Chains A and B, each alone.
Chain A
């Protein structure tokens, strides 16, 4: 077992100061905000039945929203607010990353704090309350010297629960642009790097337990009037926060931020661009695992500087177009539409990563299927799988209309598992990506689209508005344009899907550069 000899452990460790620091910062801020809001609310509501019911009800509803969805909801909400604030008050703010993550996590932390504080305060014996009044305490004195100290154990249990929830849920803030320990998990899942997944889970668990124990120490100190223990716990949390702030302070502020969506090809391309920038003497950092809906807005708002998107995605998602046009027309029109938002379309990389219907080669040959038109008569007896968004995208509607497709069953899957599912016969057809290396690996075949129902998906480099006139950036990325053909990209993606040291996005990007740089 040379599990720990794997060089990916040391690579993971290298990211730790950045990921952990961001994770602690966002969790601690969210928890502090959550407490600052919940504690006074709980105190105000303890003797007001209607307010109490409303608060607990609201907090319970928030709790039923899955963490990922709650975080994702805050992004568009803040984006809209930022736009309103910009047009009304003349200043905007970044709706990306830290702010939405803190707000969503703070909201998430409220239920246990509210519930336990209210329960704790209501649990104080009425006779004790009367005694507090009888000895001449004001309501505030009664609250601070009698009620809160007596409710403290129950309150602290709630705060500790909230802390553990927030630290765990903060791993889900990666897709809205907040770097966290979730970066390990999202990157690991996408590039089949289980070392990263394991590392991310372990470090989040250790962090949660540490904070929980420090809070327990504070609670213990407060309860036993041991100033030393309380100070110890408080100092522990302060040290944790301080330690995570140091790397952030020393980081340069002029860094180019390169965005990447949540799949392996994007990780490789962002690593490749970062390597090119560094080779040109520019400093670069990556913001990976961004949601498909978040990343474009982040670029438009200058929260990231550059990323690779696909013409069909922009066409359908950002500009809500459902008409199918020839490739060059799409590119030209996109260029004008992007220019209106001050986004620069720097150029195409040279390959397409389109959706395509994919099935095992042998089965296709048996049935004589070469195109989607050939598939249509067999579809009623077949099952189909796609990623989480495909069935709600216009391409699917277009395909169904153009070929009259109707499958026996439709399933949604994690993209990486889709190809294996098709190869094993678990599903008959999948909506794969044309640049995916797994197509060759599993001996699958891409079905032709003679009616052009699927729009072109050219990979292209987009620059943020503030980088429009940045000659150094343009020069650094210029060598990549038009150089990456589909065969090279497929092989790169296949390498990235491997499960060893040479499959890290960085290593694959280096291989890719060697391959195209010498052309």
Chain B
């Protein structure tokens, strides 16, 4: 509890990283459960079962998953539908509570943290934006700072900063409503909203899935750059192995609620698991075919 209460507000208002580090050090000493690594998010033997309602079958969405995300890392979680990857993401900011195991975020067991405060200090990018249709671009971006009680002029300044950051046009887009934007612009607003309260962690739920390839590519590159520049820790859910390999530092592969493998692309290619091999084969084959089809100088 020490971190969000003591450090959270001050950090968000002032943007000082130093305050955070000392807060972590304090919570480290207080909380013996925290693992002595630099991992910012840590899953230890986590399980989640959905009841499914009266008469329906119980569904094991996440089954004994252990996974660490280091500070500054960009992790992609890859899996098909029903693999449990989205559930895994939602467990981190307590949109869902785990049945088994422990999840720690910034050194604290999330079960001991107020979920509202937790969500406010973790950025979350939703599938196809999840923007509030009745709020303008500025209203959407500024929502978390507003919930945190920032003064209006600070929110306005932060919104301007973020509109620039995600490469939208202040004059043109700031006061538009979401339905007046293109899909790519909406997703840029979604990213800006996630970053508004200056989080250290950003969770992304298939953020670029619904976009056309060109927009997707541009947005992915832009986000990768933001991730690096702002020193973020990012967990991205995707079903697209190519996207995962191009953007992420490390990839975790899930199927049927279980974590099959994790590692860099090179490490994964050593995996003996058939499903992992199959997932890696697709981008490799695509790359080979594209290489053969496109003349070298035209590919650029």
Q: Which residues of A are in contact with B by a Cβ distance under 8 Å?
A: 127-128, 130-138, 141, 146, 149-150
Contact = CB atoms under 8 A, between A and B. Distances in A.
A128 B179 CA distance: 14
B43 interface: no
A131 B131 contact: yes
Contact of B133 (A130, A136, A150): A150
A135 B193 contact: yes
A141 B147 contact: yes
A149 B117 CA distance: 24
A127 B128 contact: yes
Contact of B132 (A132, A133, A136, A138): A132
9 contacts: A127-B126, A128-B133, A134-B124, A134-B126, A135-B120, A135-B124, A135-B193, A146-B132, A150-B133
B120 A149 contact: no
A377 to B, nearest CB: 72
A296 B119 CA distance: 66
Report, nearest first, the 3 A-B pairs whose CB atoms are least far apart: A131-B130, A136-B120, A136-B119
Contacts of A131: 126, 130-132
Contacts of A127: 126-128, 130
Interface of B: 93, 95, 116-117, 119-120, 124, 126-128, 130-134, 143-144, 147-148, 193
A141 B116 CA distance: 11
B130 A130 contact: yes
A224 to B, nearest CB: 10
Contacts of A133: 95, 119
A133 B117 CA distance: 11
Given A130-B95, A135-B193, 8 more contacts: A127-B128, A128-B132, A128-B133, A130-B126, A131-B130, A133-B95, A135-B124, A135-B143
Contacts of A146: 132, 134
Given A127-B126, A127-B127, A149-B134, A134 B93 contact: yes
Nearest to A124: B133
Contacts of A149: 134
Nearest to B194: A135
Instruction: Tell me what chain A mostly uses at the interface: helix, strand, loop, or mixed.
Output: helix
Contacts of B127: 127
A149 B139 CA distance: 14
B147 A135 contact: yes
B69 to A, nearest CB: 18
Nearest to A141: B147
Nearest to B143: A135
Contacts of B117: 136
B144 A136 contact: yes
A451 to B, nearest CB: 71
Most chain A beta-carbon contacts within 10 A, residue among B120, B127, B132, B148: B132
A323 B63 CA distance: 86
A136 B116 contact: yes
B181 to A, nearest CB: 16
Contacts of A141: 147
Given A127-B126, A130-B95, A136 B147 contact: yes
A134 B95 contact: yes
Contacts of B148: 136
Contacts of A132: 132
Contacts of B132: 128, 131-132, 146
B120 A128 contact: no
Contacts of B134: 146, 149-150
Given A130-B95, A130-B126, A135 B131 contact: no
A136 B149 CA distance: 12
B246 to A, nearest CB: 26
A134 B119 contact: yes
A133 B93 CA distance: 10
B145 to A, nearest CB: 10
A149 B127 CA distance: 22
A19 B67 CA distance: 75
B130 A134 contact: yes
A133 B120 CA distance: 10
Contacts of B116: 136-138
Most chain B beta-carbon contacts within 10 A, residue among A128, A130, A131: A131
A135 B129 CA distance: 12
A137 B144 CA distance: 8
Most chain B beta-carbon contacts within 10 A, residue among A127, A131, A133, A136: A136
Contacts of B93: 134
B29 to A, nearest CB: 28
